[in-house]
A and B are shown apart, each in its own frame.
Chain A
Amino acid sequence: MSLRSCARLLPISLALVAGSALAINAGTSAPDFSIADANGKTVKLSDYKGKFVVLEWTNPDCPFVRAQYNAEVMQAVQKEAGAKDVVWLTVNSTNKSNGEFKSGAEMNKWMKDKGAAQNAILIDATSATGRAYDAKTTPHMFVINPAGTIVYAGAIDDKRSARESDRKTANNYVRAALNEATAGKPVTVANTTPYGCSVKYD
């Protein structure tokens, strides 16, 4: 048995595995992912090629996230997006090992109680997708255009606080980006620094 054929028997994967883009901000292509949603159904970003997609990093235990939902602003933006045929995917990258990890059922219940209107809640229990997107905070938002390019990356809005009362008066960057992008205009504010709780990677 030659070294070569011997070596060929062993490796695990001969398939080409695509990697992700380098910098994850506006102008770069959005890494694909394949994760189970809260109902166990596999969701791939590439399933939605041809549509605008919003990725929302979330964690119900984070006061910054709660401020958005308690003020009912996140839900409102989700509904506006839905009306524009924009796909909204809410990602929870809290690692399974972290105390704040939520199961699909828990996420479903929490979001239902809040009247959330996303298309799917993705349970990124290994945090792999969070890492691929370099998601830093909850919330951390990405808007992806139909060609798969990120057109907005960063904070949910311009009032860096966990106060519910600030939410209604804040300039919501995602709403602004969606309004411009779906109208075929370039996004004015395309990159901002996200703020919030850290994504619980471990």
Chain B
Amino acid sequence: MRNLTATLLAALLAGVAVAAPVKTAHVEAELVPERTALVPGQPATIALRLKMADGWHTYWQNPGDSGLPTTLAWTLPTGVSAGAIQWPAPHALPAGPLVNHGYEGEVLLLTDIQVPPGVQPGETLKLAAKAEWLVCRETCIPEEATLDLELPVSDKSDPYPQWGKSIAATKDALPRKVPGWIADARGDGQKVVLTLTGPAGATTPTAVHFFPYQEGRIEPSGKQTLVREANGTFAMTLPVANQLTPGFTEVAGVLTSSNGFASGGSSVHAIAVVTPLVGNVVAGVKPVAAATPSLNLAPAAPVAQISLLAAIVFAFVGGLVLNLMPCVFPVLSLKALSLTKPGHGNRHHLRLEGISFAAGVIVTFLALAGILLAFRAAGEQFGWGFQLQSPGVVTALALLFFILGLNLSGVFEFTTLVPSSAGGWSAHNQYANAALSGVLAVVIASPCTAPFMGAALGFALAQPALLTLIVFAALGAGMALPFMLLTWYPGWRRMLPKPGAWMERLKQFLAFPLYATVAWLVWVLGAQVDNDAVVRLLVTLVVVAFALWAWRAYRGGAALGFSIAAFVGLVAAAFVAWPLFTSGSADREPGAPVQARSTSGGVDPWQPFTPTKVSELTASAKPVFVDFTAAWCVTCQVNKRLVLNDGEVKKAFTDRGVTLVRADWTRRDPAITQALAALGRQGVPVYVLYRPGKEPLLLPEVLQRQTVLDALATI
């Protein structure tokens, strides 16, 4: 309080009359001076101070995708003139898929006032201005205020107590050319490459953003990238505006960086760039409608809406079919056969067991959907199949299937592993046991839902949350139904041959689909990581098999040494497998090349997908075919082998001059996830054919040779 009084007193003594700030609904506005007096013949800096309410913003000179810049119309005494607003560096303010440029909190917009030499010390000059601004949060409100400021004329002036320092600091931080930093701009189709050369040894500026002074130049929401090149130069790629307006001959704007641009021992937050544009630019393509658009792909027209009923029916049928999948069938058929054992005679108990199983299945599916929805709500780029994008999960599943397989092969019995008390618990809680079987069934089904049902479930995920959950519940219901029926109508048991040796042989035989699943998961891991990871996993499997064998031997009466061997084996397995769980979860580096996965020798005609490649190719009027695929997606692999690698199809691609691009989603890749989202899809496979001058064509998930040939004929 004392400070404020002192300030006001000092100002009054100095003869400055700052009017009380004008308060509008969301902004407090006033004109404030840098110094206490106007000096004849010298410029004076006056600031329009805008203080926005929390969450509200006003705009920079180029407002970005929407909004309006703040304006000032001065009314000044004769001879006094005002310059243009000197804008502090703006911030990028995202609004859904759009990006605006402006200020939150408080901003000082500076104007230099020219005081003529002829004014007499002792006079008081009244500087008045009508300020207009658009203030927005969700809603936008145009506001205005007529502001004035009286300042004495004097031969000397002092910093104005309350605002002098902040205005001087704002002035100091205004974007300006910084010695040592040189920029060159080259137009290259839909992008502008800005080459920055910094002083020797300059650290790489981080979180760099370019704000063009003019609209219709650089797309406000487009992704900007900065790459460090040799000897202190940095190449910044800027996407050309979708709504490019004529006359783009100069790249002019402000560059900001979170760690600043090195300049003579210190660093500055914002630099001004004005440089001629050489080369040619064309209007950029529409950025994807995602929060952080980095990929220029058109979203497909609203994907054909399937009705809720149809979605439920598809999911239900899908769930039924899951029972036949190689990962699920062995386990569930044995579970069914276990019903023939004594102790399952009571009809009532049997039915309750079926219900418990179904509940376990459905709840687990709902939980999976819930987790996925939560991740997506948190902004994670996940699609269905995400569970197979992590080498750790693939490893865990391979181990699980291998152990289940060994169990069926008779290497060990679960009962010999588990302490008898727990086994007893399980027997007495057959409903809990059945529910847990349901959970296990979903877990073991997960490698099969991704490959076969990725697209369908991905579609469900793109729907409102409630619909997503209903579809997943229907999937669970479909999966649980066959077992439920077996418990409901136990008559089928009479049709089976008497339990005997055939059951044991069947059980042993059913281990093989499980081993096949392991083989496939090993292949997925190889595609995801590398050959070393495959060897690591195989060694782990061998050691686990050894440990289980040793343990069984020990339980069967062998010497204590066998239990030690089992323990050592287990530790060794954990040790060998550990790197697969820890290192593998990282996403692929953005832009890192996808491993060539060409099976045949020679040059792979498929180019790896990068966010800009497709838009560049389509912009140059070339037909492009994009294959969104993943190693773990069986439908994708079937399509690839039977259709895309078909001689006639390959020939048609060559004849039509189609550039082939493969977007490999085997590992998490946010750029590909976004591209899929832009097409209205959440999973693979997706096939898109871009035709020059025509709309892109989305091909069905299950490719037919003829479909592809027909599509190519439309180019």
A residues near B (Cβ < 8 Å) are 1, 3-4, 6-25, 29, 31-34, 61-64, 95, 98-100, 126-129, 131-132, 134, 136-137, 153-154, 160-163, 191-202
Q: Min CB distance, B431 to chain A, in Å? A: 31
Q: Which residues of B contact A195 (CB under 8 A)?
A: 63, 66-68
Q: Min CB distance, B380 to chain A, in Å? A: 17
Q: Which residues of B contact A15 (CB under 8 A)?
A: 304, 700
Q: Judging by beta carbons under 8 Å apart, are B698 and A16 in contact?
A: yes
Q: Judging by beta carbons under 8 Å apart, are B138 and A132 in contact?
A: no
The CA-CA distance from A202 to B377 in the complex, in Å, is 13
**Does B355 make an interface contact (CB < 8 A)?**
no
> A11-B635, A136-B66 are contacts. A20–B97 as well, Cβ < 8 Å?
no
> A6-B452, A10-B452, A19-B697 are contacts. A196–B66 as well, Cβ < 8 Å?
yes
Q: Can you list 16 A-B pairs, Cβ within 8 angstroms, ordered by A? A: A6-B321, A10-B314, A10-B321, A11-B455, A13-B306, A16-B698, A16-B700, A17-B304, A29-B695, A31-B298, A100-B138, A127-B289, A136-B66, A137-B65, A162-B140, A195-B63
Q: Min CB distance, A139 to chain B, in Å? A: 11
Q: Judging by beta carbons under 8 Å apart, are B299 and A131 in contact?
A: yes
Q: Which residue of A lies closest to B314 (CB)?
A: A12
Q: Judging by beta carbons under 8 Å apart, are B65 and A23 in contact?
A: no
The count of chain B contact residues (Cβ–Cβ below 8 Å) is 73
Find B695's partner among A18, A63, A162, A199 (CB 8 Å cutoff): A18
B residues near A (Cβ < 8 Å) are 63, 65-68, 95-98, 100, 132, 134, 136, 138-142, 215-216, 241-245, 283-287, 289, 296, 298-304, 306, 310-311, 314, 317-318, 321, 324, 452-453, 455-456, 459, 615, 618-619, 634-635, 638, 642, 679, 688, 690, 694-702, 707, 711
Residue of B635, B690, B699 contacting most chain A CB atoms (<10 Å): B635
Q: Min CB distance, A174 to chain B, in Å? A: 15
Find A201's partner among B97, B136, B455, B638 (CB 8 Å cutoff): B97
Q: Which 3 pairs between the two chains have the least Cβ-Cβ distance?
A: A201-B96, A131-B289, A19-B696
Q: Which residues of A contact B690 (CB under 8 A)?
A: 22
Q: Min CB distance, B211 to chain A, in Å? A: 15
Q: Min CB distance, A183 to chain B, in Å? A: 23
Q: Which residues of B contact A61 (CB under 8 A)?
A: 139
Q: Judging by beta carbons under 8 Å apart, are B97 and A22 in contact?
A: no
The CA-CA distance from A21 to B132 in the complex, in Å, is 38
Q: Judging by beta carbons under 8 Å apart, are B298 and A11 in contact?
A: no
The CA-CA distance from A25 to B67 in the complex, in Å, is 20
The CA-CA distance from A1 to B241 in the complex, in Å, is 52
The CA-CA distance from A104 to B662 in the complex, in Å, is 43
Q: Min CB distance, A109 to chain B, in Å? A: 20
Q: Judging by beta carbons under 8 Å apart, are B697 and A23 in contact?
A: no
The CA-CA distance from A112 to B303 in the complex, in Å, is 32
Residue of B134, B286, B300, B619 contacting most chain A CB atoms (<10 Å): B286
Find A129's partner among B95, B283, B302 (CB 8 Å cutoff): B302
Q: Judging by beta carbons under 8 Å apart, are A162 and B134 in contact?
A: yes
Q: Judging by beta carbons under 8 Å apart, are B456 and A197 in contact?
A: no
Q: Judging by beta carbons under 8 Å apart, are A11 and B700 in contact?
A: yes
Residue of A6, A64, A198, A199 contacting most chain B CB atoms (<10 Å): A198
Q: Which residues of B contact A161 (CB under 8 A)?
A: 68, 132, 142
The CA-CA distance from A3 to B284 in the complex, in Å, is 42
The CA-CA distance from A198 to B296 in the complex, in Å, is 20
Q: Which residue of A lies closest to B141 (CB)?
A: A63
Find A12's partner among B296, B456, B696 (CB 8 Å cutoff): B456
Q: Which residues of B contact A127 (CB under 8 A)?
A: 289
Q: Which residues of A contact B318 (CB under 8 A)?
A: 9-10
Q: Which residues of A contact B216 (CB under 8 A)?
A: 191-193
Q: Judging by beta carbons under 8 Å apart, are B702 and A8 in contact?
A: yes
Q: Judging by beta carbons under 8 Å apart, are B286 and A23 in contact?
A: yes
Q: Judging by beta carbons under 8 Å apart, are A20 and B298 in contact?
A: yes
The CA-CA distance from A16 to B141 in the complex, in Å, is 45
Q: Judging by beta carbons under 8 Å apart, are B285 and A22 in contact?
A: yes
> A136-B66, A195-B68 are contacts. A23–B299 as well, Cβ < 8 Å?
no
Q: Judging by beta carbons under 8 Å apart, are A198 and B302 in contact?
A: no
Q: Judging by beta carbons under 8 Å apart, are A7 and B286 in contact?
A: no
Q: Judging by beta carbons under 8 Å apart, are B286 and A22 in contact?
A: yes
Q: Judging by beta carbons under 8 Å apart, are A98 and B695 in contact?
A: no
Find B243's partner among A95, A154, A196 (CB 8 Å cutoff): A154
Q: Judging by beta carbons under 8 Å apart, are A20 and B301 in contact?
A: yes
Q: Judging by beta carbons under 8 Å apart, are B286 and A197 in contact?
A: no
Q: Which residues of B contact A197 (CB under 8 A)?
A: 66-67, 136, 139-140
Q: Min CB distance, A133 to chain B, in Å? A: 8
Q: Judging by beta carbons under 8 Å apart, are B285 and A191 in contact?
A: no
Q: Judging by beta carbons under 8 Å apart, are B324 and A6 in contact?
A: yes
Residue of A7, A32, A196 contacting most chain B CB atoms (<10 Å): A7
The CA-CA distance from A162 to B63 in the complex, in Å, is 14
Q: Judging by beta carbons under 8 Å apart, are A21 and B695 in contact?
A: yes
